[in-house]
Chain A
């Protein structure tokens, strides 16, 4: 053993392949690229980001203003590419502008959800005992709340702004990630590398933040992409019911506004709807791909 080599040349003493092993650099990326659905999701997401954030830069008159007659179908004379809505606004422009609102709400909501959920789950899983019991009862309370109703109450009470919508989605969606994080902490707490950290005298805080959390990140990141998808749907649901920020038309809100005329005016609901559909689809495909990339146990399935 004086001549130390890596495992490849040391077959007799090779590591057990069943154990969790993080991929060497780039192997995770390769795994992701091998998952065609995930690559499709990623390309779709890039497309959505381009339409939302880059394309508007090149459009000079990029405002949600009335530009033509109302209810012009795509292809009608004088109609813009995707037609006009019930006020005569360009559907393409409104949808393009709506993306940033929707994505902003989803992004901040996901950060809030992961922040609350991971903190509570980490504390419950790490400390165990009565801390765990108390935090889990608290979590269950939020889990059994009728989510949509609770969110409607919050948003209606505090006026529908981006902030209140983000808070409402965050408050009702964190229990899932809390339970997930708790489970990971419970599992890792009994692993020897965590015991070793205790034995060297590391503080609880250090063990939670520097030892267990980095090992939990893959699970949390995978879950975050799914959470963002769910947050988009939730925001769309609230906005469709009229609980959206009227000064920033999100896809869901715009869809709701066109609800009254959707039988005769299909294009004004279809395009924002499709954007929501493709965004959620791409996020869940990406989540799936990340799952494969981070979890070597699922490789080859």
Chain B
């Protein structure tokens, strides 16, 4: 079966002052299978959120292709794109900013259904109630406003909104990093349950490797806009091969002070993805070192 999402050579270049350019995403190719969770990890500024926005078409790619369920959606105009938006939804990082403060949360969850005219008003009302229960909230909360909820609750509401159109792919852009750890675990459990029940695919953008280890089937490591390693979770966590992946894993704190680190911690700033006129970043090539485990040459 063809993968749900296939991304080929996707690039995004932002022009900045004086003909300089930010190469935020450089020739990224990856795919997300049906019912699979692909985690994209990397440090701040590596382009992982840009990648998410490109795939969900909040930003326009400057190069490459995005195939959703076999259809090329890269250059679709917003009218043609509308149909495909039903298949993918996004959950943002900041649960305080991602709900309209002047609308009841019930309205926010119902809005996608209204936009797409999925059902009659009564059915929509019923579906919203069912969604609220599905994500662990009560129907009684429908008429309340976002500021009356905690961060974890709001993120549940955002999940309900994302599910309103019964999408196949949900992009979670750092969706739990703004929550404290116990709430984080609950939201992640909810996402995993939903995946089991509904066969959702997740593109899980995160910098938190502990979370990624828990939820991901496969992991893509991004550095300066490019993928440097891509493979099954076990391969990435047990056999990290690219030096950047190793350093990223080393940066996870060890809870035992007697245990010494073998390698020094990541130091210094990452290089800037800003390039002058005529300059461009060096492209890496990926090698398959074991089935499904790709590593960039160094």
Contacts and interface: CB of A to CB of B under 8 A. Distances in A.
Interface residues of B, number: 47
Contacts of A10: 150
Contacts of B179: 13
Given A195-B92, A202-B115, A4 B161 contact: no
A20 interface: yes
A12 B183 CA distance: 10
Central interface residue in B81, B86, B98, by most chain A CB within 10 Å: B98
A19 interface: yes
A201 B152 contact: no
Contacts, number: 105
A1 interface: yes
Nearest to B116: A201
B98 A196 contact: yes
A248 interface: no
Interface string A184-222: 000000011101111111111010000100110000000
Nearest to A7: B150
A200 B58 CA distance: 11
Contacts of B186: 1
B153 A4 contact: yes
B83 to A, nearest CB: 8
Given A21-B147, A196-B161, A201-B85, A1 B152 contact: yes
A201 B111 contact: no
B237 interface: no
B17 interface: no
Nearest to B113: A200
Contact of B90 (A4, A16, A22, A196): A196
A6 B149 CA distance: 6
Contact of B81 (A6, A193, A201): A201
B150 A15 contact: yes
A13 B183 CA distance: 8
Contact of B97 (A7, A191, A203): A191
Given A197-B111, A199-B89, A201-B112, A16 B96 contact: yes
Interface stretch (B30-38, B99-107, B197-205, B228-236): B99-107
Interface stretch (B120-128, B135-143, B249-257): B135-143
B214 interface: no
Contacts of B161: 196, 200
Contact of B102 (A13, A19, A215): A215
A215 B101 contact: yes
Interface in B51-66: 56, 58
A200 B85 contact: yes
Given A21-B101, A22-B102, A192-B92, A200 B115 contact: yes
A298 interface: no
A257 to B, nearest CB: 48
B94 interface: yes
Given A22-B102, A193-B99, A206 B115 contact: yes
Contacts of A211: 100
Central interface residue in B86, B96, B111, B150, by most chain A CB within 10 Å: B150
Nearest to A206: B115
Given A4-B138, A193-B98, A200-B89, 4 more contacts: A22-B101, A191-B97, A193-B108, A196-B158
